[in-house]
Amino acid sequence: MPDTCNISFLDRVRAILSDLPASERRLAQFTLDFSGDLSSYNASELASLAQVSNATVTRLIRRLEYANYEAARKQIRSERTDDSFSPVNSPLSPGETTLHSHLQESYSKLGNTYRHLSQSALLEASQAISRARQVWLIGLQANYFLAGHFHWHLSKFMPGVRLIPGAGQTVSEYLTVIQHQDVLIIFDLHPRASQMPELIRLLEARCADLVLITDQDYKERPKTRWSLPCQPGREQLPDNSVAVASLSHLLLSEVLKVRGANRRDESAQELAAAEALF
């Protein structure tokens, strides 16, 4: 690898990804998928979440030419602070005006979403998801790809995650297997299927732990246990889905934190049991 002093953490990982051994490549891919959250975890927590050994973390960090894991975390934190949005004072060309207008619209949707987000609902939903027997992801029509994206990421670090309905199926076919120990995550944003309100009522009868990701201005949205509304993107076509994408990432990040904390508690309990035994 060339001199890395001015190369970002993610670029370092991408540069060697294809040449890594299997366990290090799994860890490297994990860091790419959840790069924004890496500075929140120590080396042992990262190894646990990526399902690799502590030695694998050490080897990858050395291969990336960092002195240690803390040096990598320091660079990740500094790179996150460099992404802040700065107002433009100089005149813009027509092309730059289009880019800036789109960026401002996206920031507005993000701001409106986060200002109205309930931290308690987010935390409770994250805890429920992390301890669920089974997590079901549901999205109909245009919402299916949103649910599928969330499913792809969540299934990377949690077992028992399913995306429904499958091809040629309906959600009602799963009603008999959904249980009260499960959690349902439903994406119900415009344009939504007309049968969603009735379907949600049927699902709540099977499982009370339901996380609903929907539009802020959806006046008829069902009163689910955890509602996570976001700024809609339907003022134009195609929809601007930046708010729901960011909200999905936030929820995934919170689940990761909860699972990391749970694993630390489990490790402490195992250590205490071993000390008592021996």
pLDDT in tens, 79-103: 765 444 555 555 667 777 778 777 8
| Average pLDDT per 10 consecutive residues for the chain, totaling 278 residues | 67 90 90 74 85 92 93 84 51 74 80 87 95 95 93 92 90 90 93 87 89 86 86 67 92 91 57 58
Domains 11-83 and 117-269 share a fold: no
Record the tokens describing residue 192, joined without a space: 């939504």
Query: How far apart are the C-alpha atoms of 243 and 249, rounded to whole Å?
Result: 10
In one letter, which amino acid is 252? L
Taking only the tens place, the pLDDT of each residue in 194-239 is 888 889 989 988 888 999 999 887 877 777 889 999 887 655 567 7
* Cβ 187 vs Cβ 139: under 8 Å: yes
Q: Which fold has domain 11-83?
A: Arc Repressor Mutant, subunit A (1.10.10)
In one letter, which amino acid is 234? R
Q: Would you state the pLDDT for residue 20? A: 93
Q: What is the pTM of this model?
A: 0.67
Q: What is the DSSP string of 91-127?
A: ---HHHHHHHHHHHHHHHHHHHHHHT--HHHHHHHHH
Q: Would you state the pLDDT for residue 270? A: 52
Query: How far apart are the C-alpha atoms of 129 and 51, rounded to whole Å?
Result: 19
Q: Would you state the pLDDT for residue 116? A: 84
Q: In the block, which residue shows the tokens 């929140």? A: 40
Q: Which fold has domain 117-269?
A: Rossmann fold (3.40.50)
- 268: burial class by Cβ within 10 Å (0-12, 13-18, 19+)? exposed
Record the tokens describing residue 239, joined without a space: 């929809």
Residue spans of the domains in the chain: they are: 11-83, 117-269
